[in-house]
Structure 1
């Protein structure tokens, strides 16, 4: 499956690089991109090339907050054709649902996960890639954009309860970016990357809600968006990413959620050149590598988040897919990366 993002995913890249006194053109050429290619925000480009561009640019400039600085340049309008519909939803919950609905048109590699813990909600985003790719800058960018998205819906006075980063605390000189962007408690060396918000925020009235405009926007979107832009395999892949922690990532549940039968869904996936088991394995491989890369996440917890009822079942699957056990994979990854690495 193609792993693509809109050029708009790089909004803020040029001014951020220029603000750091760096020429972005060599970085673009190194990653197989060009300024001409980036002229149209709706143009689709390689998600991996985009991630590599941000990682390489952060390395060259020595700026570990490159992704966060880019997110400060973002607005709802950068979501493209779906932005009007999303902006005028009556609550944050419905705005997030609309964001998820049009995820394949905005960024096909990014899936939003909403988890409830008592009176708190954790908003997490996962990159759905066929194989692991270093993505600290892209992850920070996505988290910064998500915070700005919520503030745009609920009003500029809104802030999350806290924001969590799996990477280590940056140097004191970089902390101003975090405080300016999030305006809340910031936790580093966390078990996950995500926003923690109040459960009540999901159903608060949105600051810009307008049902008439939202209805008009949906009509416009329906007239310009081809059904081919959202394939069955993309829809199923997103569902799998969201359902794995609950143990409900089955073809039966996905088919029911899509208003289809298992046989019909299988035919649709066949037409896309894939199968449910292929998508399930790919999602687990991507998330397994992502979770294991964080040494603070217990392997038992990784097994649960991937839908396995026991660490033994997870270990057998991991050994079959990767040729080594999860513990061996983690030890090998730790040896391959320098101690200062944030991935």
Structure 2
């Protein structure tokens, strides 16, 4: 049974409208005074609204929405505050006010909007760069601290992560590298065979796979597979407040979550790179043997040993630890930056993959310039 219908009083003091509500403001009672209340709102002039709800016995979202119609009369949006009432009533009014005031349609401002987006993107870039550099500095301090005190290493976590990062990724790395080696061999057979230099296809496959493609393909695959996994795992822990619980227990976040993943990447990415090199060369060998060039395996390996210097192998292997650290740092950094929403987790996972792949290609280009200057 309803104890009291919805009643209200309106009074204007200066430019402030005082709305005093009493009774039960629910969908059953408030609808009966909707038209009268709207007319009374439109009959007075004011700049802001004060709500006094001490006499309200009950209120739902329908009643709150009806009261907040005072905040928007025509195209003018009014300021408001709750003077008397409970926290629950304030929450209802806030939700109803957000729905009531909504974003007004904006006129297109082509050049202004472009510059605005560009400026915001620039600020986000510098903020992200600063946060990443701070994270990298903190990471290396903790990383060298753990290396100087090996008892702090979490061996079980490192072994489990090595299985996840390395062993589980080995089939896809080998398969993709095999396919890339085969594609390069086919290209070499077509282009060089037309000139009568089919045997140089071996040089092309060897140098390309050992020096560049094997390590880059491996790094990109690990960036898409493991960096996203790091971000998702750590981000989910942060959303469930597990990281806060670890901090309360006295566990260091870097030592527990970041360092094991970095060490696991450091140990597995070079091994996967070597596997990718061998798979790519095997793909090139099979294509060279199967195509009309008919380069036998013996001739293939003999040519490879004679013309492809061992330094190409070491150039590729030297890059692997740097790529591994970049992938681990970016993945963990984005995971720790996740806020409490699912949208934030999805956004950070995407950012993690994009940043990791971008960093891998950028570092590879820097190595290419460096090795060119060194004559390697």
- The TM-score range, normalised by the shorter chain, is under 0.3
Q: Which has the higher helix share?
A: 2
Report the TM-score when normalising by structure 2: 0.23
Report the TM-score when normalising by structure 1: 0.24
